[in-house]
């Protein structure tokens, strides 16, 4: 997953379609997170939580860039969502509302696909 996120960051520098990349990464993270929530592999869950944190931090930083193509109001709303998700992802796995993280991430993946 880290390779996909690094590819996302590199493509941002190259100016490639961030919407498509964001959708693909969200879809992968959602798949991995839902798979971990359905299982009992604690290590896999911790890994996907770290991947989610890394991506959300990257996305949040990117949204703060004045040259980001999204309108300011949308960027501010997405930054607020990122803050909510990151708040959960900074908790221990047992305490985090990972269903909320999954729901927000899935909604964004679906919205970016449209």
Closest C-alpha to 16, from 73, 55, 85, 62: 62
The per-residue pLDDT for 2 is 64
Measured CA angle at 72 (ends 68, 78), to 5 deg: 80
For residue 108, how many other CB atoms are within 10 A of its CB? Answer: 21
Q: Residues of the chain whose pLDDT is less than 70?
A: 1-16
Per-residue pLDDT, 21: 86
Task: At 104, list the tokens.
Answer: 């927000």
Q: What is the pLDDT of residues 34-67, one digit of tens each?
A: 999 999 899 999 999 999 999 999 999 999 999 8
Which domains are delineated in the chain? 2-113 (1.20.120)
Question: What pLDDT shows up at residue 69?
Answer: 85
* Closest-CA residue to 81 (of 22, 18, 41, 39): 22
How high is the pLDDT of residue 20? 83
| Predicted TM-score of the model (pTM) | 0.83
């Amino acid at each position: 997953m880290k390779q996909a996120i690094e590819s996302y960051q590199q493509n941002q520098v190259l100016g490639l379609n961030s919407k498509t990349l964001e959708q693909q990464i969200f879809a992968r993270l959602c798949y991995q997170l839902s798979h971990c929530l359905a299982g009992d592999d604690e290590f896999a869950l911790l890994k996907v939580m770290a991947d989610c944190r890394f991506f959300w931090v990257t996305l949040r930083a990117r949204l703060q860039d004045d040259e980001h193509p999204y309108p300011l109001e949308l960027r501010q709303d997405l930054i607020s969502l990122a803050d909510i998700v990151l708040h959960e992802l900074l908790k221990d796995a047992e305490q985090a509302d990972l269903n909320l993280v999954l729901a927000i991430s899935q909604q964004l993946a679906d919205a970016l696909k449209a």
